[in-house]
Amino acid sequence: MVEIAGTALAWLDDNGEKLSHLADRIWEWAELGLNEHRSAELLADALEAEGFSVQRGVAGMPTAFVATWGKGEPRIGFLGEYDALPGLSQKALPEREELVQLAPGHGCGHNLLGVGALGGVVALRKEMEARGLSGTLQYFGCPAEENFSGKVFMAREGLFSDLDLCLTWHPGSLNLVHRGSSLALNSMNVTFLGRAAHAGGAPHLGRSALDAVELMNVGVNYLREHVPEKVRMHYVITAGGQQPNIVPDRAQVWYYVRAQERDLVEEVYQRVLRCAEGAAIMTETTWQVELIDAIYNLLPNHALEEVVAEAMKVAGSPRFGPSELEFAGRIAESFTPGQKEKAIAELPLDEEAKEMLREQVLNTEVMPLPQGDLPMRGSTDVGDVSWVCPTAQFSTACAAVGTPGHSWQMTAQVGSGIGHAGMIAAARTLAQAGFTLVLEAGLREKARTEFQKRTAGKPYRCAIPTEVTPAFEQLKKIL
């Protein structure tokens, strides 16, 4: 029989409006990674007001912080994120309408993520105080998950190394515990340097850096046929010259290379760099590479996931009202034909669960644990934390079933009552799971045993060299 964290859950019910207000402020600010100054300050101040001691500006990032309460064992971590995405500004409306033209927006719901984790850790603290329980709770304010992987730099500094375990969540369209891994990733700039010349009068005297970028991209696109199926490679050209009548003497492309495992990323990464080398030879330019970040795939922990699944049952699903259901219905009208069905079909759930989702606009039940692992097609710097200590992640319904991440539809919903309800449900789950793990040393030990088996006892080694610092210069380009 699971003991219920009654004080924690009651505190969250009483403070839902306050937490929603915090999430809305972060949604309105919509600050990009490494630039989340107001958002980080808001969360750090709120935790300080709740009796947590806060260390700010950790791991070389002004918007990274660690908030700590309590002492002794167990040591449980909670991850918070609060960065937005470029170009996804959107009003909290069910039709496309930018809040600020071309501005960032919370298309992945991190305005909810950071506040939901805050609610969970504060509520758990209230429960532990009421019962006289000992232990250490830490909230990690993690910048730049979307682009520059703040958690990796925090992991490199050893900030997660003393934890017994770590819990996190992510806004989604389902109330579901994550099972499976994510894609490891390398992110890098490749810069080509050539020779400027008059593109009309003397093009033969020039050596085009832009030609080198384009030839590299052609080479990588042919390479796609000759890498494992689930490898992902994508890019944007961040510098390509200033006007057409000048042969560009400098051009740059920003690449992501993803694969299921860290070792495979490194292998494919080297092949991509050979495409760059070949492009430089063909164009008689020079080239250089700058590694921006490198992250691990997520390491599952089924023992911890089972604890979270039980906590979700106790905490309950989001409490949506008629206005939230109406809003979600109008959002669903903007989906492309078959979008929702395709999303449901790919889930590792039995047919009964899938049929239930087909009938719902908003997921109003806690879904069963997936029948098998469902690897994420994206990447997350939570992966590095999961190689340092046992880590579990889940989602709650903060958007209509079938809503794609990184979309205006997601931005709209996470700034509405739909997102608020999902966030409070997530906080309730985090508090309940944390409470169970504080009480049950056997469950913590089971998670640790599985972690040691999966890592084969090998200590975590950050994939980012010590000389690489957070990508503040890359942020300036985006800004």
Q: Is the peptide bond before 348 cis (omega within 30 degrees of 0)?
A: no
| Same domain flag for 388 and 260 | no
| Same domain flag for 188 and 171 | no
| Same domain flag for 13 and 113 | yes
| Same domain flag for 211 and 147 | no
Listed residues 237, 271, 296: the one ending a domain: 296
Give the residue-averaged pLDDT of 96-116.
Answer: 97
Residue 21, both tokens: 């207000």
- Would you place residue 377 in the very low, low, confident or very high pLDDT band (cuts 50, 70, 90)? confident
Listed residues 296, 311, 346: the one ending a domain: 296
The domain spanning residue 192 has which CATH number? 3.30.70.360
Inter-residue contact 99 to 91 (CB < 8 Å):
yes
- Would you place residue 457 in the very low, low, confident or very high pLDDT band (cuts 50, 70, 90)? confident
Continuous H helices in 5-36: 6-14, 16-29
Residue 473 lies in a domain: no
Residue 241, both tokens: 């010259």
Residue 128 lies in a domain: yes
Tens of pLDDT, residues 126-138: 999 999 999 999 9
Residue 471 lies in a domain: no
Tens of pLDDT, residues 406-454: 999 999 999 999 999 999 999 999 999 999 999 999 999 999 999 999 9
Report whether pLDDT(374) > 90.
Answer: no
| Same domain flag for 257 and 131 | no
What average pLDDT is seen over the chain? 96
d(CA 439, CA 124): 12
| Same domain flag for 260 and 162 | no
Report whether pLDDT(115) > 60.
Answer: yes
| Same domain flag for 353 and 287 | no
| Same domain flag for 291 and 331 | no
Question: Which has more confidence, 476 or 157?
Answer: 157
Residue 176 lies in a domain: yes
pLDDT at 87: 95
How many helices (DSSP H) and strands (DSSP E) are in the chain? 16, 11
Report whether pLDDT(259) > 90.
Answer: yes
Give the residue-averaged pLDDT of 175-199.
Answer: 96
Report whether pLDDT(1) > 70.
Answer: no
Residue 474 lies in a domain: no
Tens of pLDDT, residues 46-55: 999 999 999 9
pLDDT at 479: 75
Give the residue-averaged pLDDT of 139-160.
Answer: 97
User: What is the share, in percent, of the chain residues with pLDDT greater than 70?
Assistant: 100
Residue 41 lies in a domain: yes
Report whether pLDDT(281) > 90.
Answer: yes
| Same domain flag for 145 and 102 | yes
The total number of structural domains in the chain stands at 2
| Same domain flag for 163 and 302 | yes
Residue 137 lies in a domain: yes
Listed residues 254, 273, 296: the one ending a domain: 296
Say which amino acid occupies 453: K
Number of alpha carbons in the 13 Å side-chain half-sphere of residue 446: 11
Residue 60 CB neighbours (<10 A): 14
Residue 434 lies in a domain: yes
The domain spanning residue 155 has which CATH number? 3.40.630.10
| Same domain flag for 316 and 429 | yes
pLDDT at 475: 85
SS3 assignment, position 142: strand
Question: Domain range for residue 57?
Answer: 6-182+297-455
| Same domain flag for 308 and 444 | yes
Q: What is the CA radius of gyration of the chain?
A: 23
What's this model's pTM, rounded to 2 decimal places? 0.96
Tens of pLDDT, residues 296-313: 999 999 999 999 999 999
pLDDT at 378: 87
